[in-house]
Structure 1
Amino acid sequence: MKKSDFRYDLPTELIAQHPLAARSASRLLLLPPAPAPLEDRAVRDLPALLAPGDLLVFNDTRVIPARLFGRKATGGRVEVLVERVLDGNEARAQLGVSKPPAAGSELVLDDGTRVAVLGREGEFYRLRFESDEPLEKLLKRIGRMPLPPYMTREPDAADAERYQTVFARAPGAVAAPTAGLHFDEALLAALRARGVEFGHITLHVGAGTFQPMRAEEFKDHVMHSEWLNVGASLCERIRAAKARGGRVVAVGTTVVRALESSFRDGEVRPFAGDTRLFLFPGKRIRSVDALVTNFHLPESTLLMLVSAFAGYERVMAAYAHAVRERYRFFSYGDAMLVFPEREGGTDATAHDSRLH
């Protein structure tokens, strides 16, 4: 398969520019086990679509206000998007600038903070912020929420809350784990009452998630790196869910990426570190039994991941249905609940009997 196989036509007006009034008010496209047909549902239906004993796994990363503005010492304007905070007040960042700055040059942020350009690492720059103030505190003081590039507006006060999950606790992401944005306290309470259990991983979503896949052939694509942590307590929760016949339901592609990166010797094991895992059709996903996910950009690695899980033809047909039915797309858009295409492909047995 090639990148162009994942192209689809999306009217611009279907790209959600603002969140709905309530997090859980979004629509939900159900992609049940084959050969059952698609169903147009609502996110608030999730308690009825899951079963007692199922385990929902969330990404608890917290988006940092990673967007900064300033100028080069020579005078040109520059936008800084921090990709990852490093030790010593250093950071890996993308720069929006007319002419790339050389190593050894300097930037000056709008508040006067000086930033040394240490060098370039591929599409990212290594920067050092010359301030006695810790970088995390500096970002909190002057940084802006880094809305995705397909949102054609500046962030407003509401985004500080809504472009953040209600369970976010580990700062470090520059993009939200968007499937988690649909869950509010009322929905979480309804899921608990249903007997669904919760677990968490941390994967700090990087700016690389928005980078276009430039190579046509999968073998030529260099996947971006993201840091993750899968703890021992979650691994125990997964084992317990499997033992009682429950399903592991990933909330978002970042959870799938984290669990698959931690999958060894037939099970998910504790792991903390970077991953460059690239999942596409032909790669077997073994760690989860179902997936809650938003709709992803054409030709994106996230769309390829969903297709690896549920089957290319089924997923592309579902996207065509979503366009026809005017679903809302991308970060503030609607969601899907996806089950594997093949029976037993992820230890997913008896799915049909547990769909209501």
Structure 2
Amino acid sequence: MTTNPRQLSIHDFTYQLPPERIAPEPLARRDQSRLLVYRGGTITDRVFSQLPAELPADALLVFNDTKVVRARLFAQKPTGGTVELFCLEPVAPHRAVELAMQQTGACVWKCLVGNGKRWKTGPATVAFTARGQAATLTAERLEAQEGYSLVQFSWQPAELPFAEVLREAGHLPLPPYLNRTDTAADAVRYQTVYAAHEGAVAAPTAGLHFSEEVLSELASKGISTGRVTLHVGAGTFQPVKADQMAGHAMHAEPISVSAELLRQLLNHASRPVLAVGTTSLRTLESLYWLGARLVQHPTDAALHVSQWQPYEEVPEVATKAALEALLAHLTATGEDVLHATTQLLIAPGYRFRLVQGLITNFHQPESTLLLLVAALVGPRWREIYDHALAHDYRFLSYGDSSLLLP
């Protein structure tokens, strides 16, 4: 029986994280980070380059291939002051991230605005260079809403796609706790080596440890791999401010999953599926709820998983049937990629349908990511974190890694 985590207190999922344990920079080599392996209740210390030897030989490893966009912009007001804009999500003319990135000429985005009180009206501009010529991005604030503003962007040359505008005019949105501006090194190291689809405003950090050498070794060992896309939103940095989880709203994030991956999951049914990162895990588990809804309501085309759906609807739908329903939906619509959104909150009380293990970094106290880890490994999450703290592991985005096989 699934229990509802609405009444969980986030304060029960905390620990003391000394500031000096937060990794401020990446290591010289991706795969030389440390790897804590938790297998069936036992903890061992490894190096990430040893990961292939630690994985079950018949595992399917699923990666999130989203690519971080340079979503921070520093624009100059006519009076000379600087306004910081953090692009959160597109509003018009497209809400789908992939389409918004290809938009030319002008668009509207939800943005966080720094120094916003001093920017009432009028344009703010960013001068940059694109394709060897001078270019200008203009931002105008349309309206301020709770927590964010709607900002209209326009640019010259107008034929540039917005993705290229951000690449040339913007900065990488490093996590706020790093408290520094991005560098040339971050441009490489705050992306995974397999990043493919632009749209995230935060890196899927579990994947930052993978090098081409580790990927090659996985292939040589015959370990299967697959890919999903979840564009990580700024909500990943949003602290839980409510005392109980009932008062916390998860951000909706877009996910894309190919028919090929759905077939891989069906063919892998009796073998372990391991998620590389919490975003991959949430995407995979969301597939079950999307498919179960289609089994029960075949005409329901709203492909969305709400925050509390797994705790309010506990359908007796087999995982295989849910995945087959998604494939049938793609066949019926003539599509090869499933596009949906998810607000899925995974917390203690959740029953996993697809995923048996997780590769992930060490997360902030009182965060939804820590709730997810606790849902997977149970109360022994605290033992894992105590071990990491006692053995000098590095924490958060540029920190060390763990392989959790409960």
Structure 2 residue 402 is the aligned partner of structure 1 residue 336: yes
Structure 2 residue 386 is the aligned partner of structure 1 residue 320: yes
Q: List runs of 5+ in structure 2 lacking aligned partners.
A: 1-7, 95-105, 128-135, 293-316, 328-337
Structure 2 residue 12 is the aligned partner of structure 1 residue 5: yes
Q: Name which of structure 1's ranges 178-187 and 70-79 shifts more when overlaid on structure 2.
A: 70-79
Is the 1:51–1:194 Cα contact (8 Å) retained in structure 2?
no
Q: Name which of structure 1's ranges 202-211 and 70-79 shifts more when overlaid on structure 2.
A: 70-79
Aligned equivalent of 2:174, options 121, 135, 147:
147
* Separation in structure 1 between the aligned mates of residue 232 and residue 193 of structure 2, nearest angstrom: 16
* Separation in structure 2 between the aligned mates of residue 295 and residue 266 of structure 1, nearest angstrom: 32
Change (3 A) 1:10 1:240: same
Aligned equivalent of 1:208, options 202, 227, 235:
235
Structure 2 residue 117 is the aligned partner of structure 1 residue 99: yes
* Separation in structure 1 between the aligned mates of residue 161 and residue 50 of structure 2, nearest angstrom: 44
* AA partner of residue 125 (structure 2): L
Shift of residue 123 of structure 1? 2.0
1:266 maps to which residue? Answer: 318
Structure 2 residue 141 is the aligned partner of structure 1 residue 89: no
Kindly report the root-mean-square deviation, in angstroms, between the aligned alpha carbons of the 2 structures: 1.8
- The TM-score normalised by the length of structure 2 is 0.78
* Separation in structure 1 between the aligned mates of residue 71 and residue 232 of structure 2, nearest angstrom: 12
- The TM-score normalised by the length of structure 1 is 0.89
Is the 2:83–2:124 Cα contact (8 Å) retained in structure 1?
no
Is the 1:85–1:135 Cα contact (8 Å) retained in structure 2?
no
Shift of residue 122 of structure 1? 3.5
* Separation in structure 2 between the aligned mates of residue 97 and residue 54 of structure 1, nearest angstrom: 49
**Deviation digits for residues 26-84 of structure 1, max 9, x if unmatched?**
11111112xx3211122122111113321100000000111101245666532111112
* Separation in structure 2 between the aligned mates of residue 219 and residue 101 of structure 1, nearest angstrom: 35
Aligned equivalent of 2:84, options 79, 85, 92:
79
Change (3 A) 1:100 1:292: farther
Q: Secondary structure at the match of 2:177?
A: coil
* Separation in structure 2 between the aligned mates of residue 141 and residue 31 of structure 1, nearest angstrom: 42
1:168 maps to which residue? Answer: 195
Is the 2:231–2:254 Cα contact (8 Å) retained in structure 1?
yes
Alignment of 1:169-188 (within 5 A): 169-188=196-215
2:280 maps to which residue? Answer: 255
Q: Secondary structure at the match of 1:287?
A: coil
1:217 maps to which residue? Answer: 244
Structure 2 residue 116 is the aligned partner of structure 1 residue 109: no
* Separation in structure 2 between the aligned mates of residue 121 and residue 168 of structure 1, nearest angstrom: 32
* Separation in structure 1 between the aligned mates of residue 44 and residue 23 of structure 2, nearest angstrom: 21
* Separation in structure 1 between the aligned mates of residue 393 and residue 173 of structure 2, nearest angstrom: 24
- Bigger helix fraction: 2
**Deviation digits for residues 261-317 of structure 1, max 9, x if unmatched?**
111333344642221111111122222011000011111111111111111x21122
* Separation in structure 2 between the aligned mates of residue 120 and residue 29 of structure 1, nearest angstrom: 44
* Separation in structure 2 between the aligned mates of residue 181 and residue 225 of structure 1, nearest angstrom: 23
* AA partner of residue 90 (structure 1): V
Is the 2:37–2:43 Cα contact (8 Å) retained in structure 1?
yes
Shift of residue 98 of structure 1? 4.8
* AA partner of residue 389 (structure 2): V
**Deviation digits for residues 135-166 of structure 1, max 9, x if unmatched?**
22211111011111111322111111110001
Q: List runs of 5+ in structure 1 lacking aligned partners.
A: 341-356
* Separation in structure 2 between the aligned mates of residue 109 and residue 207 of structure 1, nearest angstrom: 23
Is the 2:124–2:139 Cα contact (8 Å) retained in structure 1?
yes
Aligned equivalent of 1:290, options 346, 357, 365:
357
* Separation in structure 1 between the aligned mates of residue 113 and residue 340 of structure 2, nearest angstrom: 25
2:304 maps to which residue? Answer: none
* AA partner of residue 166 (structure 2): L
Is the 1:89–1:134 Cα contact (8 Å) retained in structure 2?
no
Shift of residue 232 of structure 1? 1.3
Q: Secondary structure at the match of 1:322?
A: helix
* Separation in structure 1 between the aligned mates of residue 109 and residue 164 of structure 2, nearest angstrom: 13
Q: Secondary structure at the match of 2:111?
A: strand
Is the 1:60–1:167 Cα contact (8 Å) retained in structure 2?
yes
* Separation in structure 2 between the aligned mates of residue 10 and residue 321 of structure 1, nearest angstrom: 13
* Separation in structure 1 between the aligned mates of residue 162 and residue 206 of structure 2, nearest angstrom: 28
* Separation in structure 2 between the aligned mates of residue 224 and residue 215 of structure 1, nearest angstrom: 15
* Moved segments of 4+, more than 6 Å: none
Shift of residue 224 of structure 1? 1.2
Q: Secondary structure at the match of 1:95?
A: strand
